[in-house]
Amino acid sequence: MKKIMEANHVIKIVIIVLMFPFLGKSQEKYLLYKPEKDSIICKGEDLYYIIDENLFDINRYNKIDTIDFKKIQLIEFSTVSNLYTEAKKNFLEVSDEKNLFIETFNEIFEYVYILEKLPECKYKRTRVWWIDY
């Protein structure tokens, strides 16, 4: 009986460990920068991506790195329209859970990244602040 209980605990721990990478995944949102329709602007010393007529502050986090094509295969891309829809759907749930009033959708999507294609199958990944107000 004791071995069965130990086995059950081990199975639960394994399941939790396997699920851990997916728990924060909904917080990460990726948008693809398309130079033919999107742009980058400078206002004072700040840089912004403009994607679907929305501003994304590049300087807020100063978190930029590069990733390769293999990692891109695992990413699920979103659109600004999808972000609005998902944020509105989750707005009450998240504000109740955090017991606070949410002023910006950045509180729902803690990690918003914009990927910009670079030469040689690499992408620049920039963590941004969505100017949604």
pLDDT in tens, the chain (133 residues): 555 555 554 444 444 433 334 334 457 999 999 999 999 999 999 999 999 999 999 999 999 999 998 999 999 999 999 998 888 887 766 666 666 666 788 878 889 999 999 999 999 999 999 998 7
Domain assignments of the chain as residue spans, ordered by start:
26-131
pLDDT computed for residue 3 by the predictor: 54
Q: What does pTM read for this prediction?
A: 0.73
48-83 in b/e form (b: 16+ CB < 10 A) is: bbebeebbbbbeeeeeeeebeeeebeebeebebeeb
